């Protein structure tokens, strides 16, 4: 007999196409490491884009205690957005290319260790955000990172080294744009290489676009990286991966609750996934709106 008065009800949603790791062993690891006295669970594989949203919404309707996203930041976004303002918590087994949100929350990348976090079932309430009412949990952005996101999606191979190959291929072809950004009523103009909206601190793979970002302070970090000389590329890469980007004179960060931005391209990314967007965007924080097991 279980020592727990009531078992927690979990749903694991596996994206079989995220990252480069095989998902074949995940069910065996769940069976081996999850505390069966504490949890009842089921596992479902997604069948395509947005399927995880529908599955997670159904989990909320069925009053599940948590839905666990098994995949990368795109998978986490689909599961998490369906759980906003609900009593169902988000869990993460990070198996994507970057795992930015999991890294920010210090969730282990090792699946067995991440399952031990699920077993503890301790969670924190985090902010989420929207870009023209489309939810995101970690980062969204315009400019070079969005351009690379689109090219990476077309590249055909996942993983960190593929991402770096696409980044290197596109860097010298990319032209910065003029952006008009309004942060809580204060207007800024910049000829920027990229503009990122950071609820969490990194893109993934420890690329720290917003080292000082906090995920539970009710604010979005607006990160503006201005055009910089080609000779500065090695230094900028070093700063990005060593949490020192805020020391660069080409980088500025503004924090606010509502951001309005005008731009001239029709592409962006939300939690690493490429999307088409309008010329005018509104980004809003949704404070304390999601419970995440961490």
Kindly write down the DSSP assignment for every residue of the chain, as one continuous string.
--SSSSPEEEEEEE-TTSSSS-STTHHHHHHHHS-TTTEEEEEEE--STTHHHHHHHHHHHTT-SEEEEEESHHHHHHHHHHHTTSSPEEEEEE-SSSBHHHHHTT--SSHHHHHHHHHHT-EEEEEEEEETTEEESSEEEEEHHHHHHHHHHHHS--SHHHHHHHHHHHHTT---EEEEEEETTEEEEEEEEEEEEESSS-SBTT--S-TT--TTSS-EEEEEEE---GGGHHHHHHHHHTT-GGGSTTEEEEEESEEEEE-S-SEEEETTEEEE--SEEEEEEEEEEEEEE-
Residue 170 predicted with pLDDT over 90: no
**Do 207 and 72 share a structural domain?**
no
- Is residue 3 situated within a structural domain? no
pLDDT attached to residue 169: 83
- Is residue 129 situated within a structural domain? no
**CATH assignment of the domain containing 278:** 2.60.200.40
pLDDT attached to residue 151: 79
Q: pLDDT tens across 247-281, in order?
A: 999 999 999 999 999 998 899 999 989 999 999 99
pTM listed for this prediction: 0.92
**Do 146 and 109 share a structural domain?**
no
Q: How many domains does the chain have?
A: 2
Mean pLDDT of the residues in the chain: 93
Query: By percentage, how much of the chain surpasses pLDDT 70?
Result: 96
Domain-terminating residue out of 78, 98, 121: 121
- Is residue 215 situated within a structural domain? yes
**Do 108 and 77 share a structural domain?**
yes
Q: pLDDT tens across 111-169, in order?
A: 999 999 999 999 999 999 999 999 999 999 999 989 887 777 777 676 677 777 878 78
- Is residue 57 situated within a structural domain? yes
pLDDT attached to residue 1: 45
Q: pLDDT tens across 17-33, in order?
A: 776 566 778 999 999 99
Domain-terminating residue out of 79, 97, 121: 121
**Do 139 and 117 share a structural domain?**
no
**Do 237 and 158 share a structural domain?**
yes
- Is residue 159 situated within a structural domain? yes
Q: Domain range spanning residue 146?
A: 134-288
Residue 106 predicted with pLDDT over 80: yes
Domain-terminating residue out of 88, 121, 154: 121
- Is residue 2 situated within a structural domain? no
**CATH assignment of the domain containing 17:** 3.40.50.10330
């Amino acid at each position: 007999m279980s020592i727990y008065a009531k078992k927690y009800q979990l749903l694991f949603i596996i994206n079989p196409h995220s990252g480069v790791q095989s998902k074949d062993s995940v069910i065996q690891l769940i069976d081996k490491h999850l505390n069966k006295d504490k949890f009842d669970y089921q596992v479902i594989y997604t069948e395509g884009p947005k399927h995880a949203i529908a599955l997670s919404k159904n989990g909320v309707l069925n009053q599940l205690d948590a839905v666990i996203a098994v995949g990368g930041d795109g998978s986490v976004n689909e599961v998490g957005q369906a759980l906003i303002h609900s009593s169902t918590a988000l869990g993460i087994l990070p198996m994507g290319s970057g795992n930015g949100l999991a890294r920010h929350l210090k969730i282990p990348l090792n699946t067995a260790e991440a399952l031990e976090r699920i077993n503890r079932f301790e969670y924190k309430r985090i902010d989420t955000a929207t870009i023209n009412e489309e939810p995101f949990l970690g980062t969204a952005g315009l400019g070079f990172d969005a351009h690379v996101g689109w090219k990476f999606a077309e590249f055909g191979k996942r993983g960190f080294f593929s991402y770096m190959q696409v980044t290197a291929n596109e860097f010298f072809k990319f032209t910065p744009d003029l952006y008009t950004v309004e942060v809580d009523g204060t207007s800024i103009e910049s000829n920027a290489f990229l503009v990122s909206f950071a609820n969490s601190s990194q893109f993934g793979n420890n690329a720290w676009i917003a080292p000082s970002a906090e995920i539970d302070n009710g604010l979005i970090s607006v990160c503006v990286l201005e055009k910089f000389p080609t000779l500065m590329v090695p230094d900028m890469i070093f700063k990005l991966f060593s949490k020192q980007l805020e020391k660069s004179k080409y980088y500025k960060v503004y924090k606010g609750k509502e951001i309005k931005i005008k731009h001239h391209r029709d592409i962006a990314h939300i939690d690493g996934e490429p999307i088409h967007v309008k010329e005018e965007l509104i980004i809003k924080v949704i404070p304390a709106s999601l419970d995440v097991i961490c």
